[in-house]
């Protein structure tokens, strides 16, 4: 009888503990849950690793998606081919401007088409750009060395630029990234970079860059004043609501988007697979949310919100907020990615499916979800095929 009582008591205690655990599990925050609404077919996620070449990876990723969309098949194109050719051109421009120019590893989306038109394109296997003892891209030494080189040239120690400096710079690029192939074989056929690009049949004139800032007139072209826009390429300037119409229209009609954005916000949490702009002002919260947060300090409130254990209320983004963030260096040309789809969270709020270039790891295997407010607030510019733009906006921009 005593043994039975002890056994029964132990059983009850165990059952109680299990019930308590089940209760805890039931009340545990579930985080963000997403349902895909629309997703464009794209190529696999790649890894820029320790290099400042997101612009090249996102530009190439965007172009690879376009090749799929237009029925040309799946390609793995060389990002370092863009990097190599842009480095040489940036060096020449830096010297021509006597060092009054941003010389770094960054770039913009239109660098892709500038290289394609002037030097062609090559597949990854023809130019991997790894000649310096690394299996992945590590550009710290290359970036520092090329910058030091052009700075010496700008100092002009001979009082006249030598005829050798461009060959010397090219030698650095050859040593680290590899010599540029005049010809290569791909899938049993011989190409030059130019003939390969021609066979892809991509027309650079079909692609446009769009942005949204008030310091230039809307519906006109403007040079986006960011350091990595070394080509001084122009973007069409649209009001924010129309820029977002382009984003939605593109994705809903099967066009991916090259997306230049700032990912320095606290709400960008790649380890949790989301990028959001939480509402931290109690006055702007609903009554139920106000009661939840009113007794917390601002620091406690921010800490709770940025845990992102469940969907949070987000700020309403205005045109002025975008402009203020840009003018105050709170939004900078931080990162290039590819928008490939639209999703909804469990509250029904809109998110965009983003392909990153930090390898196929993380909670969503190289992807993350950016909320609509995040995209509204932190977008620097987008590049799309002109046919992805709604007809009425094309007309306002004079695009044919």
Higher pLDDT, 330 or 300: 330
Query: What phi and psi values does residue 267 have, to the nearest 5 degrees?
Result: -75, -5
For the residues 310-317, what does the mean pLDDT come to?
95
For the residues 15-27, what does the mean pLDDT come to?
52
Higher pLDDT, 93 or 303: 93
Question: Both tokens of residue 39?
Answer: 């997703």
Residue 265: DSSP 8-state: S
For the residues 86-100, what does the mean pLDDT come to?
98
For the residues 213-238, what does the mean pLDDT come to?
97
pTM here is 0.90
Instruction: Indicate whether 290 pLDDT > 80.
Output: no
Instruction: Indicate whether 41 pLDDT > 90.
Output: yes
Residue 51, Ramachandran bin (φ over 0: left; ψ between -120 and 50: alpha; else beta): beta
Question: Both tokens of residue 31?
Answer: 């985080």
Q: What class does CATH assign to 34-214+221-277+314-397? A: alpha beta
Question: Both tokens of residue 215?
Answer: 């310091």
Q: Can you give the residue ranges of every domain in the chain?
A: 34-214+221-277+314-397
pLDDT band at 239 (very low <50, low <70, confident <90, very high): very high
Least confident stretch, 198-202, 301-305, 352-356: 301-305
Side-chain half-sphere CA neighbours of 282 within 13 A:
14
For helices 165-177 and 140-155, the axis angle rounded to 10 degrees is: 180
Q: Residue 87's pLDDT is what?
A: 98
For the residues 112-122, what does the mean pLDDT come to?
98
Distance between CA 270 and CA 264 in Å, rounded?
Answer: 11
pLDDT band at 27 (very low <50, low <70, confident <90, very high): very low
Reported as a single tens digit per residue, the pLDDT across 123-150 is: 999 999 999 999 999 999 999 999 999 9
Inter-CA distances, 257 with 65, 170, 233, Å: 9, 33, 18
For the residues 209-214, what does the mean pLDDT come to?
98
Question: Both tokens of residue 140?
Answer: 């710290």
Q: Residue 144's pLDDT is what?
A: 98
Distance between CA 29 and CA 235 in Å, rounded?
Answer: 42
Q: Residue 13's pLDDT is what?
A: 54
pLDDT band at 25 (very low <50, low <70, confident <90, very high): very low
């Amino acid at each position: 009888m005593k043994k039975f009582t002890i056994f029964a008591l132990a059983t009850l205690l165990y059952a109680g503990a299990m019930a308590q655990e089940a209760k805890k599990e039931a009340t545990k925050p579930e985080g963000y849950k997403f349902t895909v609404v629309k997703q464009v077919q794209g190529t696999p996620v790649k890894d820029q690793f320790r290099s400042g070449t997101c612009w090249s990876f996102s530009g190439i990723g965007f172009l690879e998606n376009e090749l799929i969309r237009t029925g040309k098949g799946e390609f793995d194109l060389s990002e370092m081919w863009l990097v190599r050719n842009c480095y040489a051109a940036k060096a020449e421009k830096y010297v021509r401007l006597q060092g009054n120019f941003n010389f770094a590893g960054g770039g913009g989306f239109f660098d892709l088409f500038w290289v394609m038109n002037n030097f062609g394109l090559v597949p990854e296997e023809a130019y991997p750009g790894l000649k310096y003892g690394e299996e992945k891209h590590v550009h710290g030494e290359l970036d520092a060395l090329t910058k030091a080189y052009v700075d010496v040239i700008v100092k002009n120690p001979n009082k006249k630029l030598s005829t050798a400096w461009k060959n010397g710079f090219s030698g650095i690029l050859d040593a680290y990234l590899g010599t540029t192939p005049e010809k290569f074989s791909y899938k049993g056929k011989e190409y030059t970079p130019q003939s390969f690009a021609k066979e892809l049949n991509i027309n650079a004139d079909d692609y446009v860059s769009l942005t949204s800032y008030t310091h230039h007139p809307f519906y006109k072209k403007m040079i986006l004043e960011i350091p990595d826009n070394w080509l001084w390429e122009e973007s069409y300037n649209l009001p924010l609501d129309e820029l977002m119409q382009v984003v939605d229209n593109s994705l809903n009609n099967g066009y991916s988007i090259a997306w230049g954005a700032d990912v320095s916000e606290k709400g960008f949490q790649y380890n949790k697979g989301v990028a959001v702009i939480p509402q931290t002002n109690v006055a702007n919260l609903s009554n139920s949310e106000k009661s939840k947060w009113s007794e917390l300090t601002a620091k406690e409130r921010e800490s709770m919100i940025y845990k992102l254990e469940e969907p949070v209320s987000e700020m309403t983004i205005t045109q002025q907020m975008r402009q203020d963030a840009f003018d105050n260096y709170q939004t900078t040309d931080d990162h290039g990615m590819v928008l490939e789809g639209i999703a909804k969270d469990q509250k029904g709020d809109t998110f965009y499916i983003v392909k990153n270039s930090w390898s196929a790891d993380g909670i969503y295997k190289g992807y993350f979800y950016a909320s609509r407010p995040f995209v509204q607030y932190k977008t620097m510019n987008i590049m799309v095929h002109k046919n992805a733009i709604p007809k009425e906006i094309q007309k306002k921009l004079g695009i044919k």
